């Protein structure tokens, strides 16, 4: 059954009735990321589609608030009209997951969905400053608020960011925003091997010239030749200066080409959305680790998982990895490769059978799993919200 509440009170009543019936409840925003996490076994669904609209926008305070079902597109257009943007460049999962529909701002919060700017401007969780959520007691709970500096009480905002609906149904979210830069350019170096490319990115990110995004696309990812990308965002005069300084600093790696405008935007959209892997039959993983360990991890994976392809974002600290689906989509080999290096792997795209058989999120140590189960129970004592989406039995 699909519930579409149009007020917070209705949403509380829906959740209360589900708690009463003790049936699993799926939460849906725009449904564009339905394949994320472990496949669900919910019989009822609640959608935020009836909860829409911007509730607060103060450009001079750099803050925007909206009901959870508000399309991301509306938020982005509203901000753009006043020369602002969400700081964390949220990824659009539709191409990669082959889904349709309109992504919602609530799901961006619930999934802590971030993009290339994350290395400099933080993740969605860093900009999320307030939430309202209906917990598994049918109570409306608020945490945070509309101001950036706020340390009042336990930070439940962070806990809920990235909990994929397992802790409750978000009705409203508030984000901090930033001004759009005057000018954006991308510097592209060609022909670097992974190790050299990550060294280049580390050098740039450790320089005073503040690259806002840093990625490496090995050969065959979107082009024949490997490409190493740095994105600068700033006032126009600064861009010319900083691009020249970076080229000088990194001259051992060759001379970069400078692109801007549509070509630059399109390239970063592909990086953000991992759309190099759209429409293929491969399983797709997302690996988070210390940047300089990136090339070591991929080298180890290449030895044990034939057919693996990858590219790097976040200066090398985020690896998008596509592998053949057969069996368990390389899960054991991938996680074994990360073991000595630190970091973790999340299975983002795979057929239901694989996602049911393989831990989609990195298994946690025993004490942390206990804490995780306890937190789930503290929000959702009957276990109705998206049971098992993140971890089996939670």
Partner 1 sequence: MSAIAFPVPDAGILARRDAIIAGLAGLVAPDALITSEDERRPYETDALTAYRRMPLAVVLPSTTQEVAAVLRYCGEQGVPVVPRGAGTSLAGGAIPQEDAVVIGVSKMNRILEIDYANRVAKVQAGVTNLAVTGAVSADGFFYAPDPSSQLACSIGGNIGMNSGGAHCLKYGVTTNNVLGVTLVMLDGSIVEIGGGHLDAPGYDLLGLIIGSEGQLGIVTEATVRILRSAEGARPVLFGFPTSVEAGAAVAAIIGAGIIPVAMEFMDKPAIEICEAFAHAGYPMDCGALLIIEVEGSEAEMDAQLARIVAIAREHGVGTVKESKSAMETAAIWKGRKSAFGATGRIADYICMDGTIPTGQLPFVLERMDEIIKGYGLRVANVFHAGDGNLHPLILYNCNDPIEAQKAEDAGNDILKLCVEVGGCLTGEHGVGIEKRDLMTVQFNEADLHQQQRVRAVFDPRWLLNPAKVFPLEGRIAA
Site for ligand FAD in 110-149 (CB under 6 A): 110-111
Q: Is 101 helix (H, G, I), strand (E, B) or coil?
A: coil
Task: Determine if 86 is a binding residue for ligand FAD (CB under 6 A).
Answer: no
Work out which of 118, 227, 349, 376 binds ligand FAD, going by CB under 6 A: 349
Q: Pick one of ligand FAD, partner 1, none as the site partner of residue 106 (Cβ within 5 to 8 A by kind).
A: ligand FAD
DSSP 281: S
Interaction residues for partner 1, span 208-237 (CB under 8 A): 208, 235, 237
Work out which of 24, 31, 181, 387 binds ligand FAD, going by CB under 6 A: 31
DSSP 39: P
- Cβ-proximal residues to 382 (8 Å cutoff; 6+ apart), any chain: 19, 22, 136
Work out which of 8, 76, 102, 126 binds partner 1, going by CB under 8 A: 126
Work out which of 49, 96, 157, 212 binds partner 1, going by CB under 8 A: 157
Interaction residues for ligand FAD, span 38-57 (CB under 6 A): 48
Q: Pick one of partner 1, ligand FAD, none as the site partner of residue 107 (Cβ within 5 to 8 A by kind).
A: ligand FAD
Q: Pick one of ligand FAD, partner 1, none as the site partner of residue 19 (Cβ within 5 to 8 A by kind).
A: none
Closest CA to 315 of 211, 188, 208: 211
Interaction residues for ligand FAD, span 354-383 (CB under 6 A): 355, 360
CA distance 103 to 90: 10
Closest CA to 361 of 331, 339, 391: 391
Return the beta strands (E) in 177-241 as ranges: 178-179, 183-190, 213-217, 227-234
Strand partners, 169: 134
Query: Applying CB under 6 A, which part among 6-14, 103-111, 184-192, 298-306 lies near ligand FAD?
Result: 103-111
CA distance 357 to 387: 16
Interaction residues for partner 1, span 304-343 (CB under 8 A): 314, 317-318, 342-343
Number of residues that bind partner 1 (CB under 8 A): 81
CA distance 195 to 268: 21
Task: Determine if 147 is a binding residue for partner 1 (CB under 8 A).
Answer: yes
Task: Determine if 156 is a binding residue for partner 1 (CB under 8 A).
Answer: yes
- Nearer to ligand FAD by Cβ, of 247 and 375: the residue is 375
Work out which of 159, 249, 259, 302 binds partner 1, going by CB under 8 A: 159
Strand partners, 54: 66
Q: Residue 242 to residues 32, 57, 70, 311, 314: CA-CA distances in angstroms?
A: 38, 33, 38, 25, 19
Tell me the H-state helices in the chain. 8-21, 72-81, 94-97, 105-111, 118-121, 124-127, 156-160, 194-205, 236-249, 262-273, 294-304, 326-329, 331-338, 352-357, 366-379
**At CA 295, angle to CA 289 and CA 299, rounded to 5?**
115
Task: Determine if 164 is a binding residue for ligand FAD (CB under 6 A).
Answer: yes
Task: Determine if 107 is a binding residue for ligand FAD (CB under 6 A).
Answer: yes
Number of residues that bind ligand FAD (CB under 6 A): 33
Work out which of 170, 246, 308, 384 binds ligand FAD, going by CB under 6 A: 170
Cα torsion angle, 313, 314, 315, 319, sign: negative
Q: Which residues bind ligand FAD (CB under 6 A)?
A: 27-37, 48, 68, 97, 99, 101, 103-104, 106-107, 110-111, 164-165, 169-170, 346, 348-350, 355, 360, 386
């Amino acid at each position: 059954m699909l519930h579409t509440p149009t007020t917070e009170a209705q949403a509380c009543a829906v959740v209360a009735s589900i708690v009463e019936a003790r049936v699993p409840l799926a939460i849906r925003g725009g449904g564009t990321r339905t394949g994320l996490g472990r496949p669900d076994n919910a019989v009822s669904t609640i959608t935020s589609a009836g909860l829409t609209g911007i509730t607060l926008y103060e450009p001079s305070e750099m803050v925007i608030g909206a009901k959870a079902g508000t399309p991301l597109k509306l938020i982005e257009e509203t901000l753009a009209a006043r020369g602002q943007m969400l700081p964390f460049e949220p990824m659009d999962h539709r191409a990669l997951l082959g889904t349709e529909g309109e992504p919602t701002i609530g799901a961006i919060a619930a999934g802590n969905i971030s993009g290339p700017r994350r290395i400099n401007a933080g993740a969605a969780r860093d900009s999320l400053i307030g939430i309202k959520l209906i917990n598994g007691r049918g109570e409306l709970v608020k945490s945070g608020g509309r101001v950036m500096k706020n340390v009042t009480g336990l930070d439940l905002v962070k806990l809920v960011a990235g909990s994929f609906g397992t802790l409750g149904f978000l009705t409203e979210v508030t984000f901090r925003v930033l001004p759009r830069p005057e000018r954006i350019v991308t510097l592209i170096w060609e022909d670097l091997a992974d190790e050299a490319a990550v060294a280049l990115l580390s050098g740039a990110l450790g320089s005073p010239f503040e690259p806002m995004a840093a990625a490496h696309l090995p050969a065959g990812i979107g082009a024949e030749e490997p490409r190493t990308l740095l994105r600068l965002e700033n006032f126009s005069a600064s861009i010319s200066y900083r691009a020249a300084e970076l080229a000088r600093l990194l001259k051992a790696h060759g001379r970069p080409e400078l692109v801007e405008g549509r070509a630059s935007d399109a390239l970063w959209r592909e990086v953000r959305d991992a759309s190099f892997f759209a429409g293929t039959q491969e399983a797709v993983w997302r690996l988070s680790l210390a940047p300089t360990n990136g090339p070591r991890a991929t080298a180890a994976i290449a030895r044990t998982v034939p057919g693996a392809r990858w590219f790097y974002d976040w200066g090398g600290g985020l690896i998008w990895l596509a592998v053949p689906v057969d069996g368990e989509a390389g899960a054991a080999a991938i996680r074994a490769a990360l073991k000595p290096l630190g970091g973790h792997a999340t299975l983002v795209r795979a057929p239901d059978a694989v996602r049911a058989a393989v831990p989609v999120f990195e298994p946690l140590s025993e004490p942390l799993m206990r804490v995780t189960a306890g937190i789930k129970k503290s929000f959702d004592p009957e276990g109705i919200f998206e049971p098992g989406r993140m971890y089996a039995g939670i």
